[in-house]
Amino acid sequence: AAASTGGDGDADEMPELSDCDDDDDVDNDEDLWQWAEEDEEDSRPANVTLLSSVPATLQHCAADHQVNLVEIIKKHHLDDYGYIKMINFIRSTKCDASGLTGLPDAPLPWESEDFLRPVLQDDPLLQTDPEELCEDLSLSVCPSFRAESHDALQQRAQAAEERASTSEQALARAMDDLHKLKLLAQGLVLNAEAGRPGNSSAVAELREDEDEAYFSSYGHYSIHEEINLVHTETFKAKPPPSPPVLQVVLDVGCGTGILAMFAARAGAKQVIAVDQSEIIYQAMDIVRSNELEDKITLIKGRIEDIKLPVEKVDVIISEWMGYFLLFESMLDSVLYARDLYLADGGSVYPDLCNISLVAVGDAQKYRDHIAFWDDVYGFNMACMKKAVVPEGMVEVVKEDTLISEPAVIQTFDCNKVRLSELEFASDFCLKMTNTTECTALVGYFDIFFDNGCGNKVMFSTGPRVTKTHWKQTVFLLEKPVSVQAGEELRGKITVRKNKKDPRSLWVTFDLEDGKHSYSLQ
């Protein structure tokens, strides 16, 4: 029980715990749940027993009333919330001992969320950890604290080791089967019709709860610290179009609001900034701190779900780029806003972007990530390669590992591109600059501010320039390919959205030695 500071009556009055005051058996149980402060002694009922501590109260309940709360906790597997509900149920219903010892397995009478509300203020029982009760009272009914013999523990450990060995063998077989199934499924998906209903608008059709994980990742401050000065300086340096063009600006996915503030200071009459993540609340404070609230309107929500306070905008700005340019599919949202809100003669910035490939020969990385599985502390785990290789890795590529000239595989004009064109297939040719082994293909992107700009501005995420938040995307080959300087490595790349998760990508390379499929998720 816990300290009673009064019920519906005066502060010093002990609450009655039974509705049947004339029932002797019930009267005998009333002191089961009572706790009183010392200064309440004079006003307590005659049949109430004062106890000095929580352990003493529980021992009294077990000894005098045959109610063992720890046994109840164990029997019904009560967590912290279940324990709190049980205590509040006892206090609020004034139940007797028989009502607790004969409980069914389910449902329990205190399942309602209403029993999370304390009956007594500063209730000591609610301030006690139920696991600590088991430990402190050393009750045998709490098996989680029951000591086991050394021999029993040794037998359990040996049995667990045997099960683990059997499971590892089964896992290896399952991984091999799973890889075969994955390749089959990818082939079915990638060869399906690209234009079937719902394909091109998959992101727009996501419900808000389905898209929560994506936006939540941008609610953390660290991601906005990582989005570095390189691209922000590029947006800042872009010469603003002539004043008539900058009348109304829309910032899609505004984050901290930095681009919206650049636009406002560049002369925009009105800026509307939209973001679904929680960071927009900090953006509101930032805008007010810089005294730009008269020019910038911030709206929380997905651009697909909200209605802007204007019919048309003159410029759409957005830092929409994901890893390998298209990962996360935020460009889909920008194109949605373009088709719905951009006025004739308006423009999206950045307006041009491309994706490039380059070959890499990095023997050390291949040993660390692929060859490593051939001998793991003396065990052959080569089957794990089939699980490791299909995952594209995002990391900074060392310039001295590049072994080919880069090749652009796709270019997009954000003012003209259609949503369906964001899934594509493209032939490529990489001219080798070194005689070595190609261990991976690496993708990166460049963006440009071109339309209506007097001085063209761009930035790159390639491995030969200052590193950016996007780094590069590495597609490791399961087996290295021998190449000669001057020769060409030809292939075909196919980029598709994952049908089950349209913000992630499937990337497939058709090379001379076969097909290599990867996921970005």
Catalytic positions are: 319, 328
What residues contact residue 491 under an 8 Å CB cut-off, 6+ apart?
427, 428, 509, 510, 511, 512
Task: Count CA within 13 A, CB hemisphere, residue 352.
Answer: 12
CB-based contacts of 309, cutoff 8 Å, min separation 6: 272, 297
Beta-strand relationship, 342-349 and 352-360: unpaired
Residue 426 β-bridge partners: 493
Q: Which of 317, 250, 266, 260 is nearest to 293 (CA)?
A: 260
The answer to whether 33 and 27 have CB atoms below 8 angstroms apart is no
Residue 455 β-bridge partners: none
User: DSSP per residue over 253-308, as a string?
Assistant: S-TTSHHHHHHHHTT-SEEEEEE-STTHHHHHHHHHHTT-TTTEEEEES-TTT---
Of 72, 85, 65, nearest to 125 (Cα)?
85
482: enclosing H helix or E strand: strand 472-483
| Tokens describing residue 63 | 């000894």
Reduce the DSSP state of residue 399 to 3 states and report it: helix
Quickly tell me which residue has 């950890």 as its tokens: 129
Q: Do you know the residue count of the chain?
A: 521
Q: What angle do CA 117, 122, 125 make, to 5 degrees?
A: 80
Orientation of helix 229-237 relative to helix 258-265, angle to 10°: 20
At residue 192, the 3 state secondary structure works out as coil
**Listed residue (508, 409, 510, 187) closest to 519, CA to CA:** 508
Q: How far is it, in rounded angstroms, from Cα 503 to Cα 217?
A: 13
Nearest to 273 by CA among 313, 241, 321: 313
Query: Are the CB atoms for 394 and 368 separated by under 8 Å?
Result: no
Beta strands, E only, 86-170: none
Do 346 and 313 touch, CB atoms closer than 8 A?
yes
DSSP 3-state of 451: coil
Would you say 430 and 444 are in contact if contact means Cβ atoms under 8 Å apart?
A: no
Rounded-to-integer distance, Cα 506 and Cα 424, Å: 11
Return d(Cα 304, Cα 432) in angstroms, integer: 45
Q: How far is residue 447's CA from residue 350's CA, in Å, rounded to a whole number? A: 6
Contact by Cβ (8 Å): 497, 329: yes
